Amino acid sequence: MQAILVLADGTIVEGKGFGGVKEVVGEVVFNTSMTGYTEILTDPSYKGQILMLTFPLIGNYGIPPFFESDGIKVEGLVVKEACKTPSHWQSDKTIVRWLEDEGIPGIEGVDTRALTRKIREYGVLPGVLATYEDDAGKPDVPEMLKKAKKFDISKIDLISQVATKKIERYNVGGNKTIGLIDCGVKLNIIRELNSRKINVIVFPPNTKHDEILRGNIGGLVITNGPGDPSTLTNIHETARELLAEMPTLGICLGHQIIAIAAGAKTYKLKFGHRGSNHPITDLKSGRIYISTQNHGYAVDAASIGNTGLKVTMINANDGTIEGIAHEDLPLISVQHHPEASPGPLDNKHIFDEFVKLIEKR
C-alpha cells in the first residue's frame, strides 16, 4: 500500500501506507515523546490532527492495553518506521494491525526530522493524508492541496466528537465527590482522582451549571480536549458561574477555558507543545518539573491583569504560562498534564493540592 501526505504550503511527501485505506484532513503536528504511542494515539485532544511522531521507530512494543480513551483519536499517523515485529508480554497486535482495525491511515518511510524542522520554522500546517492500494486508486494531489488549504480547525466542533453524551459515574466508595466537565478527558485523570478515593461524576461538555450543582459535588475539574478554546462560549459561561461556587481544577484545554471565563484571552502557538519532556518552572519555589504536554493554544500573559488571576508556573523553554491561580477563589489550573500517561510523574502533586482545596472547603 502506498501513501501521500500533502501540506497546505504545497509540500508533497510520498511513502509506504499502512493501516486504514482512506483520505483524511487535519492539522499536521509533531510529538517528541520516545515512548507512550498507545496513550498518545488514544488521547482525545488529538482529534482533528494528523500526528507525526519524531522517534524513528514506532510500535516496537506492540499494542498493550495502555489507552486514554476507547480508541484511536488522531486522524492519521506519520512515522519514520512502523515496527512489524514487536515484543511485549501484554501486546496482542502490531501497530499496523491496530490502525487497520480502527480504519486510521498511516504513512511510513518519511523523513520526520525534516518535516518537524519545517513545522518548527513555518508553524503548524494543515494537511491531507491518503493511503491507496494501487495506481488506479492514487488520489488527485491538486485536489488534496485544495482541501489542505481550506482546512481550519477552529471552525470544527471537535469536542462533541470525543466527549461523553450522557452523565457517567466513577464511584470508588469515597466520601468526596467531584464533577468533571468532559471536553475530551484522558482516562488517567479519572484514575488519579479515583486513586485518592474521590468519586467522579462526568458531565457532557455543554451541561448547564445548575444541573452540575444538583450532583451535590465538592469540587470541579474541567478537562483537556481538542480545538480552539476561544470558540467554546457555552463552556465559558458555565465555568464563569461555577468558579465562585467550589474548588476548581483546570487541565490543558480546561486551563484555557478557566482563564477565558475569568476574563483573560488565549492565542494559537506557532507549533504547540507536544511531548513528555517539557520543563516548567514553579515560580513560588523555583523548582523545575518535567511535564507531559499536548496543546496548540496558550493563555495570553498580557491579558490577565484585572482578572484576579496570577501566574504560578511558566514554560522554561519559551516562558509561556503553565499554571495560574486566583487571588481569592480556590482555583488551580495547569497547561500541562499532571496525570502524564505517558510521561514523568513529577506533577501528580497537583491532584493532591486539589484534594486539599476540597478538604479545606
What cell numbers appear for 235 in the block? 463552556
Tell me if 32 sits within 8 A of 277, measured CB to CB. yes
Residue finishing a domain among 119, 151, 183: 151
For this structure, is 339 an active site residue? yes
Residue 259: predicted pLDDT: 98
Whether residue 356 sits in one domain with residue 338? yes
Q: Is 295 a catalytic residue?
A: no
Say if residue 133 is in the same domain as residue 185: no
**Where among 96, 125, 151 does a domain terminate?**
151
Provide the grid cell at 338.
499532571
Catalytic residue among 273, 278, 295, 337: 337
Name, in order, each residue with C-beta under 8 angstroms of 318's C-beta and a sequence gap of 6 or more: none
**Residue of 68, 100, 252, 273 marked catalytic:** 252
| pTM, entire model | 0.96
Nearest to 341 by CA among 116, 33, 76: 33
Do 118 and 169 have their domain in common? no
pLDDT score at 286: 97
- Which has the closest alpha carbon to 309: 325, 328, 332, 329? 325
CA distance 169 to 177: 10
Assigned C-alpha cell, 198:
474521590
When divided into structural domains, the chain yields a total of: 2
Q: Are residues 197 and 140 in the same domain?
A: no
Per-residue pLDDT of the chain (361 residues; tens, 9 = 90+): 999 999 999 999 999 999 999 999 999 999 999 999 999 999 999 999 999 999 999 999 999 999 999 999 999 999 999 999 999 999 999 999 999 999 999 999 999 999 999 999 999 999 999 999 988 889 999 999 999 999 999 999 999 999 999 999 999 999 999 999 999 999 999 999 999 999 999 999 999 999 999 999 999 999 999 999 999 999 999 999 999 999 999 999 999 999 999 999 999 999 999 999 999 999 999 999 999 999 999 999 999 999 999 999 999 999 999 999 999 999 999 999 999 999 999 999 999 999 999 999 8
Question: Are residues 79 and 166 both part of a single domain?
Answer: no
Instruction: Provide the pLDDT for residue 353.
Output: 97
* Same-domain check for residues 123 and 145: yes
Residues 309 and 354 placed together within one structural domain of the fold = yes
* 324 DSSP β-pair partners: 311, 333
**Which are the contacts of 329, defined by CB distance < 8 A and separation ≥ 6?**
243, 244, 248, 308
According to the model, what pLDDT value does residue 23 have?
A: 98
Write down the catalytic residue from 75, 100, 192, 339.
339
Same-domain pairing of 116 and 15: yes
Task: Indicate whether 188 and 325 sit together in one domain.
Answer: yes
**Which CATH number is 258's domain given?**
3.40.50.880
Q: Are residues 62 and 32 in the same domain?
A: yes
Q: What is the CATH number of the domain that holds 144?
A: 3.50.30.20
Final residue before a domain boundary, out of 129, 151, 173: 151
Cell triple for 250: 483546570
User: What domain range is 180 assigned to?
Assistant: 159-360
Give the Cα separation of 256 and 265 in Å (integer). 8
* Same domain for 182 and 143: no
Three state DSSP letters for the chain:
CEEEEEECCCCEEEEEEEECCCEEEEEEEEECCCCCHHHHHCCHHHCCEEEEECCCEECCCCCCCCCCCCCCCCCEEECCEECCCCCCCCCCCCHHHHHHHHCCEEEECCCHHHHHHHHHHHCCEEEEEEEECCHHHCCCHHHHHHHHHHCCHHHCCCHHHHCCCCCEEECCCCCEEEEEECCCCCHHHHHHHHHCCEEEEEECCCCCHHHHHCCCCCCEEECCCCCCHHHCHHHHHHHHHHCCCCCEEEECHHHHHHHHHCCCCEEEEEEEEEEEEEEEEECCCCCEEEEEEEEEEEECHHHCCCCCEEEEEEECCCCCEEEEEECCCCEEEECCECCCCCCCCCCCHHHHHHHHHHHHC
Which residues are paired to 52 by β-bridges? Answer: 30, 78
What pLDDT is stored for residue 299 in this prediction? 98
Residue 83 annotated in active site: no
316 plus 170 within the same structural domain: yes
